[in-house]
A and B are shown apart, each in its own frame.
Chain A
Amino acid sequence: MRRRDVLAGGMASLLLPGLWGANAHAASAQERCFLFLYAEGGWDPAVTLTPMFDVPGAWVEEGSRLNYGAGDVPYVDHGSRPAMAEFFRRHGAELALLHGMEVPSISHESCLRLLLTGQARALDPDWPTQIAGSPQERPMPHLVIDGPAFAGNLSERVVRLGSEGQLPLLLEDRFSDDLDNAKVDPEIQALIDASVAQRSAARADSPDYLATHAQAHLDSVLGLQGLQSEAQGLSLSQGRPGCTRDYETDFETLFTCFEAGLSRCGMIRHKGWCDQGWDTHQLHERQGINWEDLGDVLLDLMAVRERFPSVKERLVVVVASEMGRHPRLNNWGGKDHWTWTSAMLFGDGVRPGVVGALDELGQGRGVDLATGGSGSVRLGPQHLGDTLLSLGAGEVIGAPIQGLLL
Chain B
Amino acid sequence: MLLFLALSGCTPEPDPVEAQVIPQISAPRLLRRASLDLRGVLPSVAELDAAEAQPELVQETLQQWLVEPAFQERLVLMLGEQWHTRVEAFPIEAWDYDLEDQEYAFERSVGEEPLRIAAHVVATGQPWSQVVQAEYTLANPMLQEIWGLEPLESGEGWVPALYQDGRPHAGVLSTNGLWWRYDTDVSNMNRRRIAAISRLLVCHDILSRPVSLGESASEDVENAVQTDPACITCHAALDPAAAALFGFWTVIEYSEVEHANYHPERELLYDRYLGVEPAWYGIPVSGPEALGQAIAADPRFDDCAVERFSEALIRRPITREEQASLGASYQGVVLEWLPELLASPEYGAQEVRLLTPQQLDSALLQATGFSWTQDGTPMLDLDEGGLRQLTGGVDGEQVKGPQAVPGLTRSLVIQRLGERAARSAASQGPIDIAQWHWRLLAERPTPEELQDLEALHAAVLAQSDTQSADAAVLTVLMRDAAFEAY
Contact = CB atoms under 8 A, between A and B. Distances in A.
Contact of B481 (A153, A175, A200, A332): A200
Contacts of A123: 317, 401
B368 to A, nearest CB: 12
Contact of A173 (B23, B416, B485): B416
A102 to B, nearest CB: 7
A121 B206 CA distance: 11
B185 A282 contact: yes
B452 A198 contact: yes
B408 A139 contact: yes
Given A156-B406, A159-B407, A198-B452, A362 B218 contact: yes
A291 to B, nearest CB: 20
A282 B186 contact: yes
Contact of A177 (B210, B373, B456, B468): B373
A99 B404 CA distance: 37
A178 interface: yes
Contacts of B399: 149
Contact of B404 (A155, A282, A338): A155
A361 B218 contact: yes
Interface residues of B, number: 80
Contacts, number: 209
B99 interface: no
Interface string A194-207: 01101110010000
Contact of A181 (B25, B406, B420): B420
Interface in A317-352: 326-328, 330-332, 334, 336, 338-339
Interface in A99-140: 102, 104-107, 109-110, 120-121, 123, 135, 139-140
A209 B185 CA distance: 50
A262 B205 CA distance: 38
B374 A177 contact: yes
A19 B84 CA distance: 41
A162 to B, nearest CB: 6
Given A156-B407, A188-B464, A217-B484, A162 B415 contact: no
B364 interface: no
Nearest to B370: A179
B104 to A, nearest CB: 14
Interface stretch (B63-71, B109-117, B471-479): B471-479
Contacts of B413: 170
A283 to B, nearest CB: 9
B411 A281 contact: no
Nearest to B385: A164
A218 interface: yes
Interface residue range, chain A: 35 or more
B459 A336 contact: no
A121 B208 CA distance: 6
B218 A363 contact: yes
A245 interface: no
A164 B351 CA distance: 34
Contact of B187 (A155, A217, A336, A362): A336
A187 B463 contact: yes
A210 B207 contact: no
B463 A188 contact: yes
Contacts of B217: 326
Given A153-B405, A282-B253, A339-B213, A166 B385 contact: yes
Contacts of A176: 374
Most-contacted residue by chain A among B207, B253, B372, B406 (CB, 10 A): B406
B245 to A, nearest CB: 17
B277 interface: no
A243 interface: no
B352 interface: yes
Interface in A342-381: 361-363
A362 to B, nearest CB: 5
Contacts of A218: 481
Contact of B406 (A106, A191, A209, A217): A217
A282 B351 CA distance: 48
A110 B208 contact: yes
A170 B390 contact: yes
B481 A192 contact: no
A406 interface: no
A328 B404 CA distance: 44
Interface string B412-445: 1101100110010000000000000000000000
A331 B189 CA distance: 13
Given A156-B408, A160-B390, A178 B222 contact: no
A157 B409 CA distance: 10
A105 B405 CA distance: 30
B459 A332 contact: no
B406 A327 contact: no
B475 A106 contact: no
Given A120-B208, A213-B406, A220-B410, A178 B374 contact: yes
B482 interface: yes
Contacts of B475: 184, 192
Nearest to B205: A121
A200 B482 CA distance: 9
A344 to B, nearest CB: 22
A389 B390 CA distance: 26
A192 B374 contact: no
Interface stretch (B131-139, B334-342, B375-383): B375-383
Given A149-B398, A163-B384, A195-B456, A209 B405 contact: no
A175 B373 CA distance: 11
A339 B215 CA distance: 13
A377 to B, nearest CB: 14
B472 A361 contact: no
Nearest to A112: B398
Contacts of A21: none
Interface in B247-297: 253
Contacts of B362: none
B479 A196 contact: yes
B210 A105 contact: yes
Contacts of A216: 405-406
B392 interface: yes
B213 A164 contact: no
Contact of B390 (A57, A139, A162, A330): A162
Nearest to A179: B420
A169 to B, nearest CB: 9
Contacts of A139: 408
A210 B485 contact: yes
A12 interface: no
B412 A326 contact: no
Nearest to A162: B390
Contacts of A326: 217-218, 221
Contacts of B188: 281
B170 interface: no
A223 interface: yes
Contacts of B468: 185, 188
26 contacts: A104-B211, A105-B211, A123-B317, A149-B398, A151-B403, A155-B404, A155-B405, A156-B408, A159-B407, A160-B409, A163-B383, A166-B385, A176-B374, A179-B420, A196-B480, A199-B452, A200-B481, A203-B481, A212-B352, A213-B406, A217-B481, A220-B406, A221-B411, A224-B412, A328-B220, A363-B213
Given A159-B409, A166-B386, A195-B476, 12 more contacts: A105-B210, A147-B398, A149-B398, A158-B407, A163-B383, A166-B387, A210-B481, A213-B481, A216-B406, A220-B406, A328-B221, A362-B218
Interface of A: 57, 102, 104-107, 109-110, 120-121, 123, 135, 139-140, 147-149, 151, 153, 155-160, 162-164, 166-167, 170-171, 173, 175-179, 181-182, 184-185, 187-188, 191-192, 195-196, 198-200, 203, 209-210, 212-214, 216-221, 223-224, 227, 281-282, 326-328, 330-332, 334, 336, 338-339, 361-363
Per CB-CB distance, the 9 closest pairs between chain A and chain B, nearest first, are A209-B350, A361-B218, A107-B207, A217-B481, A121-B208, A214-B481, A104-B210, A220-B411, A164-B385
